[in-house]
Structure 1
C-alpha cells in the first residue's frame, strides 16, 4: 500500500444484497485491512444441526484505508458490488471510526464467543456508565463503557451510529476506570 499509515482510517461501509463476504474477499486479495463482525448460527440442514459462521449484520463491512483510495475502490467495483459509506448525519461526511475504538471492537467481536452480546446502537445510551479499560484476561486492553446487561457486568464497545458489542462477564477486579 502506498499511503502513509497515519492517513489510514476505518470507514463503515454498506454493501447490497448480503455481498459483504464477496467485498471482504476482494479487499483481502488487494491486501486491504477489513473486518466483518461474525458469530456462529445454527441451521437445520438435511435433518441435522449445522453450525456456521455468519455476519452479525448483513451488508456491513469496516475498511481501513485513506479516503482517496476508498473512493477509488468504491468507483472500481461499483458495477460488481455497489458500496456506500455509512454517513455521520451531523457532519454529513462518511463515518470514521477511531483506530483505538475499532481495535477494541475487533478484540471483542472477533472472539466469536457465544457470550458476546451484540446491541443495536439505538437501544443503548452509552453516555451513562463509566469509561473503563480491561486489565486482564482475554479482553485485556479493551476500552469501553461498563454496563450491566442481562444481569452481568460487561464492557460495551460502541461504533457510534452503527452498533455496539458487549464482552462476556468481566470481573470488576480486571477493570480500571479511564478518565
Structure 2
C-alpha cells in the first residue's frame, strides 16, 4: 500500500517575546518555509532616532510544513506553541497568508464603499495587488477601512480597498 504524500500547510507559531527574528532565522536554517511579516518603525533612543523592522504581529510567525515536520519547529529556541484549537494545531489557508504578504509588501492604499458590505460577508478583492484574495468582513469603520479576518490567530488586516465584490 502506498503512503499518501504529506501536504504542506501553513500554521501560526507563538514565540517568546521579541524572539521572532531569531526563531525565523533558525527555522529557515532547518530548511522550513517561514514567513515573518515585518514593518518599519522609527524608534527613539536617548541619543538618536533609528528606523527598525519590527514584527507586524508580536510573538507570531508562520510556517509551511508537512505533518512530518510538526515537531521539528520546536528545535528552534524561542518557539512556545502552535496556535491551536482543542489541542490541535490549526492550519491557516494559504490565501490568507498570501493576502497578508501582499498587503504588507505592496504598502498600497485602497478605498471601499462601506454601505455595500456587511459584517460576516465573504468578499473577493477585484483589483490591485490583492486581486482575487478572498476574506470575511470582520468590521467596517467609516467609509475607507475594511477589516479582513486572519483565521485562528485573533488578528485582522486593516485595509483600505478599491473594489470588493461579494463571493457568490
The answer for unaligned runs of 5 or more in structure 1 is 117-126
The equivalences for 1:25-174 within 5 A come to 25-74=25-74, 76-77=75-76, 80-89=77-86, 92-111=87-106, 113=107, 128-146=119-137, 147-154=139-146, 156-167=148-159, 169-171=160-162, 174=163
In structure 2, the gaps of 5 or more residues are 111-117
1:119 is matched with which residue? none
The verdict on how the C-alpha distance between 1:98 and 1:43 changes in structure 2, with shifts beyond 3 A counting, is same
Mean Cα deviation higher: 63-72 or 100-109? 100-109
Work out the CA distance in 1 between the residues paired with 2:46 and 2:145: 39
Task: For 2:92 and 2:36, locate their aligned partners in 1 and report how far apart those are by CA, in whole Å.
Answer: 14
TM-score between both structures, scaled by the size of structure 2: 0.77
Post-superposition offset of 1:93 = 0.8
Q: Tell me, in whole angstroms, the C-alpha distance in 2 between the residues paired with 1:108 and 1:149.
A: 18
Query: Which whole-Å deviations, capped at 9, do the CAs of 1:60-99 have from their partners, x for residues lacking one?
Result: 111110122121332x33xx3343111114xx31121122
SS of residue paired to 1:73: helix
Q: Give the TM-score normalised by the residue count of structure 1.
A: 0.73
Paired residues, what number?
157
Q: Could you say what the CA RMSD is over the residues aligned between the two structures, in angstroms?
A: 2.7
